[in-house]
Amino acid sequence: MSHPGQTRLLWIAAIGVPLLFVAIATLQRKMDDTTLAHTSDDEELMLTSGSAVRNISLGYDSLVADIYWTRSVQYYGSRAGVPEAKFDLLWPLLDITTALDSKLTIAYRFGAIFLSEPPPAGAGRPDLAIELVKRGIAANPDNWYLNGDLGFLYYWRIGDYPSAAAAYLQGSKKPNAPPWLGMMAARILEKGGSLETSRMIWSQIYESAQDKTVREKAKEMLLGLRAQEDEQQLDGIAEIYKKRFGHFPASASDLQDAGLVRGVPADPAGYPYVFGSNGESSLDPRSPVVIPPKINPAPAASK
């Protein structure tokens, strides 16, 4: 005869597991139905709590977490780059995913990217991205990569340089952490927000990232930072040109003709820089280079 407890467990399995997969199937249908309706205001999840999903997963937490992570990627991918798209389900999906499997580090790392990217590339919620990565660090205390992600979010997304430095410093103390984490912490405290520091961070991301998309993003940012540095230098040269000729240069070739530069100044994509009537340089509208938003440098460290 079956033990009453075993019978009860079988009843829970018979009811709970089908209910779980019905909820997941319903979620998938809803995502499919709203793929073209990115601005829908009535998006919702049947199950919004990781603990609720865990209670009916009956030990299949990792499997269900993988399913929810796949749904998260699909959901983000169908909206990223679409004007006016909303990402209302993104945080609940990531919340459930990481509640089910706290060791699924890819969900923390890429989920933070999805959340922190400004619209229309992402949800524009660096606060939730920071919360997600902090959760990952707590669940994976020896993973220095997550500390690097946290430092990046503090530095690049919200300009909190002391917190960024602290995150990198904490990561530098973990097993197998690379030396550059400690160097990054010191650099940010000294020159947070400078082009030099930003370039150092993106260079490390480019060199260490294994994902092709992340490497391409890092390369794009490095080219943009190089163009930003070029523009700062060209603006100064334009001032010298004005003192000599009484007016600002009309084009980049004017600087070459005046002997102030060697060759016509061009951006990393090969397009000559253009000058406005106020002497400020900028990218040619046809250039594919994207200059990142400028961030304010941190105050100099006291000696």
- Chain center to CA of 68: 20
Strand partners for 272: 266
* Residue 247 located in a structural domain: yes
Q: At what angle do helices 105-116 and 61-79 cross, to 10 degrees?
A: 20
* Residue 200 located in a structural domain: no
Q: Are β-strands 281-282 and 274-275 bridged in parallel, bridged antiparallel, or unpaired? A: antiparallel
Query: Tens place of pLDDT for every residue, the chain, 303 residues?
Result: 555 555 444 444 444 445 555 555 554 555 455 444 444 444 556 556 666 676 666 678 888 899 999 999 999 999 999 999 999 999 999 999 999 999 999 999 999 999 999 999 999 999 999 999 999 999 999 999 999 999 999 999 999 999 999 999 999 999 999 999 999 999 898 888 888 888 889 898 898 888 888 899 899 999 999 999 999 999 999 999 999 999 999 999 999 999 999 999 999 999 999 999 999 999 999 999 998 876 554 444 443
* Residue 260 located in a structural domain: yes
Asked if residue 129 lies in contact with residue 115, where contact means CB atoms within 8 angstroms, the answer is yes
* Residue 277 located in a structural domain: yes
Asked if residue 199 lies in contact with residue 228, where contact means CB atoms within 8 angstroms, the answer is no
Residue the block writes with tokens 């990142």: 292
* Residue 22 located in a structural domain: no
Q: Could you tell me where the DSSP H helices lie in 58-89?
A: 61-79
For the chain, how many structural domains are there in total? 1
* Residue 302 located in a structural domain: yes
* Residue 89 located in a structural domain: no
* Residue 158 located in a structural domain: no
Expressed as residue numbers, the domain containing 239 is: 212-303
Separation of alpha carbons 13 and 6, rounded Å: 10
